Structure 1
Amino acid sequence: MVHAPGRPPGDGRPGDPALTARIVALISSGAATSRTELARGLGLAASTVSLRVQELIDLGVVRETGAGPSRGGRRPRLLELCSDGGFVLVADVGGTHARAGVVDFTGALSDVEEIPVPVAAGAGPEATLDLLGGVFDDLVRRRAGGESATEGIGASGIGIALPGPVDLERRCADSPSRMPGWDGFPVGRWLEERFGVVTVVENDANLMALGEHVSSAHPVRHSVTVKAGSAIGSGIVVDGVVYRGADGAAGDFSHARVPAGGDIPCSCGNTGCLETIASGAALVRVLQAAGRDVTDTAQVIRLARSGDPEATTLVRTAGRHLGEVLCTVVNFFNPGAVFLGGGLSTVEPFVAAVRSQLYEGCHPLVTQRLLIARASAGADAGLVGAGRSVLDRVLAQPLPVAVR
């Protein structure tokens, strides 16, 4: 269901997470600075909005900063978000590295750290989560000014992105192809038992898409985000909310079969998927077959950015293949923006090829106002999205959460 512009998805009651997210977003962006402006922007009764604003004030998320100018009646009480009102911990887990950081109640990300993790090596989830737990403890101690971390860790929640399909209800990886030993492991429960706070577990592409959507300097209602690196990931955001589909797999067009893929085997078990010809790993394979001394996507990108003819041609062709499949998505979904992230998006021929295919292959109506841009949040997109996702859960609670 697509909701009318300006109205939040959900039932609009105080405590509704969609209502909370919209209130926080409107105050954060400056689009609304008072209860009256919030009620007008949300299309809800002033009493409904006022109840939720008061809950957010009690939580230490929002504060009143004084009275604004009168417009013929009582002067409105101005509102702003509290940067020191609380925070959540976030992590974006990859095959060999993980990034972790802190997101405050305004949505601002800080204290980002990157650590090696043994996900792809098959060491299992507990070893990785133990490493992340140590990083989280350090982040909390730093936030507390060097004090020892205590039970509850001083954070209000944890958001974690995993590089594979996720069962949202069980909060675990669901048959991931690149995460040996993780299938069905209760990641959310493990973190909650250790830290005692609300925990959200989500697919990394979905959180990347959400992070890019909320970070864009040009706000849109609907967007598609593509991360083109060693692999290809993608996510869809509708009215500011991640669209997951019936089984949580919506938006992942990287495994669409394409003629140019032929019989090349894919990690998903099929052959000829887009990822087999348009990902960084695919370009490494082609260059190695041609006798070039390359071992990873970063080397391919360096070659293309330095003007190597063979690498540049391959990157441009990969962009063309991705753009062809993306045309179907854009024609069907009609997003306001397509954000391109990942290492390959740093190479201009790749971006130009994607853009060219979209303008050539899409109906003019869906491209006349379409924003096609490099991702602005970059490597932090997943962390920003994880922060927004867990904050939506934390801020939806009707009673104050523990913020130490």
Structure 2
Amino acid sequence: MLPESIAPDSPGAVLRLVRSGQAASRSDIARLTHVSASTAAIRVEALIELGFLHETGAGRSRGGRRPRVLELRTDAGVVAAADLGAHHATLALFDLGGTLLAEQELPMDIADGPERVLAWVVEQVGSMREAHVAREPGAAAERVAGTPAGPQPAPLLGLTVGVPGPVDFRAGKVVSPSRMPGWNGADVPALAKSLTDVPVLVENDANLMALGEFAASPSEHLVFLKAGSGIGCGVIASGQLHRGARGAAGDISHAPVSDQQDVPCSCGRTGCLDAVASGAALARRLAEAGFDVRGTTGVVDIARDAEPVSARMFRDAGRATADVLATIVNFFNPDTLVLGGQLSQAEPYVANIRSTLYERCLPMAVEKLVIEPSRAGRLAGVIGGGHLMLEHLFDPARVNALAS
């Protein structure tokens, strides 16, 4: 729904009609917004001049002249997304229609701090744009033909950065992250201003994964569990990302686990879910039990061996995670619970989440609850980041300001 401050026949509202597929011609716009054909034409011309739309082909006639078809200019630029982990990053490019153009996963150390990491991200995005245009059909032919500079990359219009810590989205600041040394209070958009002149958004990684999963498989009320080296949760309510008052909604990493009050957490408290059931916590416990384990990937490899001691640890971690999730499921009543992150590949962990939820939740809350693995997989975060930036660029208020 449009905010009350946005006129339904404004350029921003018209662009939303075209993006959503509700309108494909000037006559469609006139009919849906209840304005004259001349007013609809003015709105369309403004959006074409701004580079948002173009007209192509011919639509189906309704008894008169065949209308030209309005389409989004998906080739007018690209947006980028970076999903940062503790020791690696996934980066991706999307066209303005949300189509994935390129992606890669690279080693990276979040402990290098915001300045160095953001500079690295911007550099990698630039390299990806150059590599993508070099792969485009006709690029080699243009170079052979003697074009001095060759084909140029589509302009970068925005960058979203996902981080494994709490984010005050409105302020653009990272707030008291437990696994991001040097990032507390980091104003990511401000730091990025010296690196790039495009809008930069920062968001918690689990929130972006929830958005990415929603884009891959829309569900009106969705909870996304990110269970990797850390534990996080993203919430989609009535088709919209729910952040709460400042951005802390869904952050279950420091929810207390009742029977684990002797386990210290990096936040300074004890018995937090992250300290008990995350991939990092399991890696520590497995190492203490004599297993040769390297990171969360090694944890998942051990889970596949079904060794009795490790299997018990995975079951306990799954049960602890589900104890916290049960409160969310009973309170929020989602229709879909998506399990993502590397631990979602550990069967003992997942099996105990399922069984404990059915045991602890109200029958009505789980009767039709779909519990499924992530469809977007490791790209969920960058897909969500691309989606978030496109919604920012095409926000009706922003478009109206550009058109005024």
Within a 5 Å distance, the mapping from 1:237-316 to structure 2 comes to 237-316=236-315
C-alpha deviation, 1:77, in angstroms: 5.8
Equivalent residue number for residue 177 of structure 2: 176
Equivalent residue number for residue 142 of structure 1: 131
Say whether the 8 Å CA contact 1:59–1:400 is kept in structure 2: no
Per-residue deviation, residues 118-168 of structure 1 (Å, max 9, x unmatched): 323xx3222212211211221232344485999x98211111112212232
Work out the number of aligned pairs and report it: 384
Within a 5 Å distance, the mapping from 1:9-28 to structure 2 comes to 11-13=5-7, 23=17, 26-27=20-21
Q: What is the alpha-carbon distance in structure 1 between the residues aligned to residue 12 and residue 348 of structure 2?
A: 39
Equivalent residue number for residue 87 of structure 1: 78
Consecutive unaligned residues in structure 2, runs of 5 or more: 140-148
- Give the AA of the match of 2:215: V
- Give the AA of the match of 2:262: D
Equivalent residue number for residue 128 of structure 1: 117
Consecutive unaligned residues in structure 1, runs of 5 or more: 1-6
| SS in structure 2 at match of 1:195 | coil
Q: What is the alpha-carbon distance in structure 2 between the residues aligned to residue 378 and residue 260 of structure 1?
A: 32
User: Whose Rg is larger?
Assistant: 2
- Give the AA of the match of 1:136: V
Which one of the candidate residues 82, 105, 113 is aligned to 1:114? 105
- Give the AA of the match of 2:161: I
| SS in structure 1 at match of 2:155 | coil
C-alpha deviation, 1:257, in angstroms: 0.7
Give the alignment's TM-score, normalised by structure 2. 0.82
Q: What is the alpha-carbon distance in structure 1 between the residues aligned to residue 130 and residue 219 of structure 2?
A: 37
Equivalent residue number for residue 97 of structure 1: 88
| SS in structure 2 at match of 1:398 | helix
| SS in structure 2 at match of 1:185 | coil
Change (3 A) 1:277 1:160: same
Q: Which moved more, 1:9-18 or 1:207-216?
A: 9-18
Q: What is the alpha-carbon distance in structure 1 between the residues aligned to residue 184 and residue 284 of structure 2?
A: 28
Q: Which moved more, 1:176-185 or 1:335-344?
A: 176-185
Say whether the 8 Å CA contact 1:61–1:105 is kept in structure 2: no
Per-residue deviation, residues 174-208 of structure 1 (Å, max 9, x unmatched): 22222222222332122233211111111112111
C-alpha deviation, 1:379, in angstroms: 1.4
Equivalent residue number for residue 207 of structure 2: 206
Change (3 A) 1:153 1:368: same
Q: What is the alpha-carbon distance in structure 1 between the residues aligned to residue 17 and residue 83 of structure 2?
A: 26
- Give the AA of the match of 1:264: V
Equivalent residue number for residue 368 of structure 2: 369
Per-residue deviation, residues 308-359 of structure 1 (Å, max 9, x unmatched): 2322332233222212211110111122211110111112332222222223
| SS in structure 1 at match of 2:259 | helix
Q: What is the alpha-carbon distance in structure 2 between the residues aligned to residue 199 and residue 20 of structure 1?
A: 25
Equivalent residue number for residue 4 of structure 1: none
Q: What is the alpha-carbon distance in structure 2 between the residues aligned to residue 247 and residue 36 of structure 1?
A: 42
Per-residue deviation, residues 233-285 of structure 1 (Å, max 9, x unmatched): 11112233221111211111221111122220112221111222221122222
Q: What is the alpha-carbon distance in structure 1 between the residues aligned to residue 27 and residue 369 of structure 2?
A: 32
Q: What is the alpha-carbon distance in structure 2 between the residues aligned to residue 34 and residue 263 of structure 1?
A: 65
Say whether the 8 Å CA contact 1:20–1:395 is kept in structure 2: no
- Give the AA of the match of 2:204: N
Equivalent residue number for residue 317 of structure 2: 318
Change (3 A) 1:252 1:186: closer
- Give the AA of the match of 1:263: D
Say whether the 8 Å CA contact 1:315–1:344 is kept in structure 2: no
Cα RMSD of the aligned pairs, angstroms, is: 3.5
Q: Which moved more, 1:256-265 or 1:302-311?
A: 302-311
| SS in structure 1 at match of 2:202 | strand
C-alpha deviation, 1:24, in angstroms: 6.8
Q: What is the alpha-carbon distance in structure 1 between the residues aligned to residue 14 and residue 274 of structure 2?
A: 38
Q: What is the alpha-carbon distance in structure 2 between the residues aligned to residue 369 and residue 35 of structure 1?
A: 43
Q: What is the alpha-carbon distance in structure 1 between the residues aligned to residue 291 and residue 340 of structure 2?
A: 26
Change (3 A) 1:163 1:149: farther
Q: What is the alpha-carbon distance in structure 2 between the residues aligned to residue 351 and residue 144 of structure 1?
A: 41
| SS in structure 1 at match of 2:358 | helix
Q: What is the alpha-carbon distance in structure 2 between the residues aligned to residue 317 and residue 58 of structure 1?
A: 59
Change (3 A) 1:356 1:39: farther
C-alpha deviation, 1:296, in angstroms: 2.0
C-alpha deviation, 1:85, in angstroms: 3.0
C-alpha deviation, 1:55, in angstroms: 5.8
| SS in structure 2 at match of 1:234 | strand
Say whether the 8 Å CA contact 2:164–2:204 is kept in structure 1: yes
Q: What is the alpha-carbon distance in structure 1 between the residues aligned to residue 205 and residue 11 of structure 2?
A: 21
| SS in structure 1 at match of 2:229 | coil
Q: Percent same amino acid among aligned pairs?
A: 44
Change (3 A) 1:316 1:53: farther
Say whether the 8 Å CA contact 1:98–1:116 is kept in structure 2: yes
Equivalent residue number for residue 3 of structure 1: none
| SS in structure 2 at match of 1:193 | coil
Q: What is the alpha-carbon distance in structure 2 between the residues aligned to residue 364 and residue 399 of structure 1?
A: 47
Q: What is the alpha-carbon distance in structure 2 between the residues aligned to residue 20 and residue 345 of structure 1?
A: 41
Equivalent residue number for residue 157 of structure 2: 156
